[in-house]
């Protein structure tokens, strides 16, 4: 029987809200067994870039990372955001270890090829080195991953945090019974963004594509769902999208991918 592993991805809005982040991390700390956290922090990176006179650019919910924006992303994600989360988890009694993909060579990537869109120093994952995560979790450490990877040739890369969470989940499911939880500010995927109670309880890939075509699901939720379905179709036991309430209450509203 496989050991259970909870992988939590925390969205950028929660990372930037001190009270909300503390609530999420307290619930995460209360999860039994092995666990791993992946975080974004795009809103902080955007704000920092603007303070530095850099204009952030997004296309279809994904960030364009030129050389200047990469430096901001590393400062924000691997620096302040990551260490704040690690410190808060230590406060909760969780022995967290903050990582980028370069640390322990745990996530290798390549610079995304230029096609119709040049994403700059965006990284597409080529290898998850599960031994690093397995070694840490076996010693009761909790890895905390930010959205920075590397190409093993000295180049840091900006990689979508939802993708990192899904790819780690897929790699770890060989040895673990993995639940992937995308935690953000809403109770799940909504049919109407103005009706926070209108949660879609279950989503299939086919229904999702219909909602995307109709404009019901759009922007950053699109890559999140695509990553979630990739994980589900590649051995991950369960993929859930919800807010902090569903982390500690199985009866709380949530969207489950099927």
Report, as an integer, the average pLDDT of 220-249. Answer: 95
- Residues in the chain, how many? 258
Q: What is the CATH number of the domain that holds 78?
A: 3.40.1160.10
pTM: 0.94
Over 80: is that where the pLDDT of 117 sits? Answer: yes
Looking at every residue in the chain, the average pLDDT score rounds to 94
21 contacts: CB under 8 Å, gap ≥ 6: 10, 14, 15, 84, 85, 88
Range of the domain at 243: 3-257
Model pLDDT for residues 133-150, shown as the tens digit of each residue: 999 999 999 999 999 999
CA 132 to CA 128: how far, in whole Å? 9
Report, as an integer, the average pLDDT of 197-201. Answer: 93
Q: Please report how the helices 82-91 and 18-29 are oriented relative to each other, as an axis angle in degrees rounded to 10.
A: 50
Cβ 208 vs Cβ 225: under 8 Å: yes
114 contacts: CB under 8 Å, gap ≥ 6: none
Q: Would you state the pLDDT for residue 206?
A: 96
User: What are residue 16's DSSP bridge partners?
Assistant: none
Q: Would you state the pLDDT for residue 1?
A: 82
Q: Would you state the pLDDT for residue 153?
A: 97
pLDDT tier at 61, thresholds 50, 70, 90: low
Report the domain count for the chain.
1
User: What are residue 62's DSSP bridge partners?
Assistant: 59
């Amino acid at each position: 029987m496989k050991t259970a592993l909870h992988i939590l991805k925390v969205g950028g809005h929660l990372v930037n809200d001190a009270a909300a982040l503390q609530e999420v991390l307290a619930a995460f700390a209360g999860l039994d067994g092995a666990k791993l956290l992946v975080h974004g922090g795009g809103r902080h990176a955007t704000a920092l870039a603007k303070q530095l006179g850099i204009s952030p650019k997004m296309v279809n919910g994904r960030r364009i990372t030129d050389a200047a924006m990469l430096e901001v992303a590393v400062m924000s994600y691997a620096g302040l955001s990551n260490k704040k989360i690690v410190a808060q988890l230590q406060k909760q009694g969780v022995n967290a270890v903050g990582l980028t993909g370069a640390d322990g060579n745990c996530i290798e990537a390549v610079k995304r090829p230029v096609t119709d869109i040049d994403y700059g120093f965006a990284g597409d994952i080529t290898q998850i080195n599960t031994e690093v995560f397995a070694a840490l979790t076996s010693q009761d450490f909790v890895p905390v991953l930010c959205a920075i990877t590397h190409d093993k040739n000295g180049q840091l890369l900006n990689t979508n945090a939802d993708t990192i969470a899904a790819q780690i989940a897929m790699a770890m499911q060989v040895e673990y019974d993995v639940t992937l939880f995308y935690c953000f500010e809403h109770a799940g995927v909504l049919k109407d963004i103005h009706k926070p109670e209108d949660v879609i309880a279950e989503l299939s890939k086919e229904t999702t594509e219909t909602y995307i075509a109709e404009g019901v699901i759009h922007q950053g939720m699109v890559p999140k769902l695509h990553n979630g379905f990739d994980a589900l179709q590649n051995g991950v036991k369960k993929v859930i999208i919800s807010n902090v309430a569903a982390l500690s209450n199985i009866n709380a509203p949530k969207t489950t991918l099927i």
